[in-house]
């Protein structure tokens, strides 16, 4: 979970995830949405891969990335619970 939270703490990587939520994209297609080098894009994709948030699929010369739904949902669950515990505390007090 640590790698997931670090992964989504960077704005570029959150934007990558937002784009991939809409559709699978190649590295080149992804990079059209940013002002960074291909090497930097690879760096961010490596972090997302390390957190198992994305999955690469080679097709010819291109590599297409897509969201790893199961990890994405696990992360959602963790973060939601982390924050909602406060709501629970509030109810206890009232």
Min CB(76)–DNA separation in Å: 21
In the chain, DSSP assigns E strands to 25-26, 54-59, 62-67
Any contact of residue 35 with DNA (CB under 7 A)? Answer: yes
Q: Rule CB under 7 A: is residue 8 a binding residue for DNA?
A: no
Q: Does 6 bind DNA (CB under 7 A)?
A: yes
Q: Is 40 in the site for DNA (CB under 7 A)?
A: yes
With CB under 5 to 8 Å by kind, the binding choice for 47 among DNA, a second copy, none is DNA
Q: Which of 49, 50, 54 is nearest to 18 (CA)?
A: 54
Helices and strands, number each (H, E), in the chain: 5, 3
């Amino acid at each position: 979970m640590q790698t997931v939270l670090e992964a989504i703490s960077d704005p570029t990587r959150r934007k990558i995830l937002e784009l991939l939520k809409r559709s699978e994209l190649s590295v080149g297609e992804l990079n059209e949405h940013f002002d960074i080098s291909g090497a930097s894009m690879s760096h961010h994709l490596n972090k997302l891969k390390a957190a198992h948030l994305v999955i690469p699929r080679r097709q010819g010369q291109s590599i297409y990335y897509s969201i790893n739904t199961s990890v994405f949902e696990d992360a959602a669950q963790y973060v939601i619970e982390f924050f909602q515990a406060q709501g629970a505390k509030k109810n206890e007090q009232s």
